[in-house]
Amino acid sequence: MMFTPTRPSGFVRRNLTQLAALSAILGASVAVMSAQTSQTNDESVAPATTQTSPVSAQADVQAKPTLNLTIPAVSGDAMFSSSSSENEVAVNADHFNFVDAMQYGGGQRQRYGRPRYRGGNTNADGSNKYVFFAGAGFTAPVGNDSNYLKTSWGIQVGGGRQFNKHFALPIQFDWDNFGFTGQTISNQASLYFDDPTNSLYGLDGHSHIWSFTVDPTYTFYSGEGLGAYVVVGGGFYHKAANFFVPQEAESCYIYCYDYTANATVQNYSSNSAGVNGGIGLTYKFSRFSNERFYAEFRVVHTFNNYRPGITVNTPTTVADSYTGWNYFPQNSQETTYFPVKVGVRF
């Protein structure tokens, strides 16, 4: 009798298929958990307690690929991976300027070109567009002029355009006063009153030169405190001399009173062109101020046209009653003098 196996029913087949799928899933889960556990145990073992032979270490390295945890370099302002960028950050950190950070909104030092200053009263280099000065000092005649003139006081004021920190073109007014020597006063008393001793009327007098000049000025040194400049110029010079005697006078306003005033005997004037040149020093007490104290020395020469006249050494047959005669021809001769002034420039 032949045995013929029967085919399993549909219910049995379905159960076997589901059982096989479940077994495959469980096996894969166990393998994954085993791999994670093995890796955790290997990382938790201290290097000092694990001793492996070089052969086994090499085999482990080849068998276990390492994970690269380095962060790739990202270009931009927030991250710097190159050595040059790191050096730049270090330099900026060493020279951090809080004022720049507040002004420009960043902690890194920025490079700029030549500074440009703005403002209606300043030039591109930061200097003022205009310069003004005022000073006073003394004036000394030299050469032949010292035979009849004496050292006296002088003042000056000026101002003008300053094109940069080196060059300025001011216009200047000077008043330089002189006294007369005793011999000059005696000579004039002889001419006016035939009184060589000047004991009758007490003659006296003074001379002055006022001028308007254009004076180009070049500042060749300008430090935080000291500065130095040279100046040359020229313009119009008016020279005058006045001789007078004291005289009693009376003034009445509500009540009358007597006083002494100078009565002019004669005065003389002469106009001419002239030149000047010199050097000056400046000093600024504060680096934040625009004002500078200055002291300067100049040489001035005027080109007067000499007019002959009567002196004690020049005999004349002209009667004294002739008015307008030149009794002081020295006033019309060329004059050289040294003005020294100190003041403030701003």
Per-residue pLDDT of the chain (346 residues; tens, 9 = 90+): 444 444 545 554 565 566 666 666 666 655 555 555 555 444 444 444 444 454 444 445 455 555 454 555 544 444 444 444 444 444 444 455 544 554 444 445 555 555 554 557 888 888 889 999 999 999 999 999 999 999 999 999 999 999 999 999 999 999 999 999 999 999 999 999 999 999 989 999 999 999 999 999 999 998 888 999 999 999 999 999 999 999 887 788 788 878 788 999 999 999 999 999 999 999 998 877 778 999 999 999 999 999 988 888 875 554 444 445 789 999 999 999 999 999 999 8
Structural domain includes residue 10: no
Structural domain includes residue 63: no
Asked if residue 182 and residue 315 are part of one domain, the reply reads: yes
Asked if residue 97 and residue 168 are part of one domain, the reply reads: no
Structural domain includes residue 106: yes
Q: What is the pLDDT of residue 172?
A: 97
Asked if residue 194 and residue 165 are part of one domain, the reply reads: yes
- What is the residue type of 50? T
Structural domain includes residue 274: yes
Structural domain includes residue 38: no
Q: Which domain holds residue 203?
A: 130-345
Asked if residue 243 and residue 151 are part of one domain, the reply reads: yes
Q: What is the pLDDT of residue 10?
A: 53
Structural domain includes residue 96: yes
pTM: 0.64
Asked if residue 229 and residue 202 are part of one domain, the reply reads: yes
Asked if residue 203 and residue 104 are part of one domain, the reply reads: no
Q: What is the pLDDT of residue 139?
A: 97
Structural domain includes residue 208: yes
Asked if residue 341 and residue 199 are part of one domain, the reply reads: yes
Sign of CA dihedral 11, 14, 16, 22: negative
Q: What is the pLDDT of residue 297?
A: 97
Asked if residue 140 and residue 172 are part of one domain, the reply reads: yes
Asked if residue 184 and residue 93 are part of one domain, the reply reads: no
The total number of structural domains in the chain stands at 2
Asked if residue 98 and residue 167 are part of one domain, the reply reads: no
CATH number at residue 283: 2.40.160.20
Asked if residue 103 and residue 210 are part of one domain, the reply reads: no
Asked if residue 300 and residue 179 are part of one domain, the reply reads: yes
Q: What is the pLDDT of residue 119?
A: 59
Structural domain includes residue 302: yes
Question: What is the DSSP track for 20-80?
Answer: HHHHHHHHHHHHHHHHHHHHHHHHHS-TTT----HHHHHHHHHHSPPP--PPPP--SSS--
Nearest CA-CA partner of 261 in 192, 183, 202, 328: 202
Within the chain, strands assigned E span 130-141, 149-150, 152-162, 167-180, 204-214, 217-222, 226-253, 255-283, 292-302, 335-345
